[in-house]
Chain A
């Protein structure tokens, strides 16, 4: 009797698992700002002392080209530019450890290593609240493919270095545009 009831319990759990996995329900609350959004603003936003939004947008397009991006879409009336680029995503350390793991344990870890990626950037410009400055905000995303050409990872890039590099280049570009170079 106890054996039967244990068997039933196990089968019930398995069925429950199938049921739960089969119909992945949509999570709630993903359109609610999370706690870290003010910090993210700090990272992603810079202000420039000009009211000439078009000039800033032109500089943004220039910077994206400098960084090897292709422009995908833009709308000057609302201050928007989107761009993307393909890049190499191989990481020597990751490949080396996967090869060692394959040799020692077997399996196919190397196939799961990062191979290439598409980085998407989208930039929004708008006048600041007091109307005296122009606010620029950039966000980056990337999609990483692995060695067997499957999508291995998708993520929003939150590395501060990436944003610093972008704004350093933008400051330079605004200067260059002003000098007509």
Chain B
């Protein structure tokens, strides 16, 4: 009986250590990311068979508005768009860049942050590109 109790107590302490240390992050992680650079790029980037940068940017803007984002900044020369939306008490910010790839394609890259965390889930970005595809009537192609 007492042995069992001791055993249980030890397990509990171990569990507590595991749960509490799970969140530990190094002090300086300003440039950190848990995914590899190449993998992150392929998750966040798609190519489209068009060279109409203006139309692509306008479609990105309206897709983001459909997703409840309020656009904070946009720059045609750089092809960059930044917007934010609220999920409960958290702020989601997303930047999208549109730039030419070769002669016939445009590269669209999106990266999102949820609160203080970078979003690195492939499915989340896929949702965005699916919505964008529908809006521009073109297929988003995976880039290697």
Contacts and interface: CB of A to CB of B under 8 A. Distances in A.
Interface in B51-77: 54, 57-58, 61-62, 65-76
Interface string B3-19: 01100100010011001
Interface string A100-132: 000000000000000000001110101000000
Contacts of A156: 68, 70, 85-86
A77 interface: yes
A28 B4 CA distance: 41
Nearest to A8: B8
Chain B: interface size category? 35 or more
B5 to A, nearest CB: 6
B72 A155 contact: no
Give chain A's interface secondary structure class: mixed
Contacts of A15: 12, 15-16, 19
A141 B125 contact: no
Interface residues of A, number: 44
Contacts of A52: none
Interface string B65-98: 1111111111110000001111101011010000
Contact of A22 (B19, B71, B124): B19
B1 interface: yes
A26 B119 contact: yes
A92 interface: no
Contacts of B61: 78, 80, 124, 126
Contacts of B66: 33, 37, 40-41
B74 A78 contact: yes
A124 B68 contact: no
A32 interface: yes
B15 to A, nearest CB: 5
Contact of B71 (A4, A33, A122, A154): A122
A30 B121 CA distance: 11
B130 to A, nearest CB: 8
Given A15-B19, A75-B76, A141-B70, A31 B112 contact: yes
B30 interface: no
Given A31-B128, A80-B71, A154-B91, A26 B5 contact: no
A12 B15 CA distance: 9
Contacts of A22: 19-20, 22-23
A93 interface: no
Contact of A8 (B12, B16, B57): B12
A140 interface: yes
8 contacts: A26-B121, A29-B123, A30-B87, A31-B127, A33-B131, A75-B76, A122-B72, A122-B83
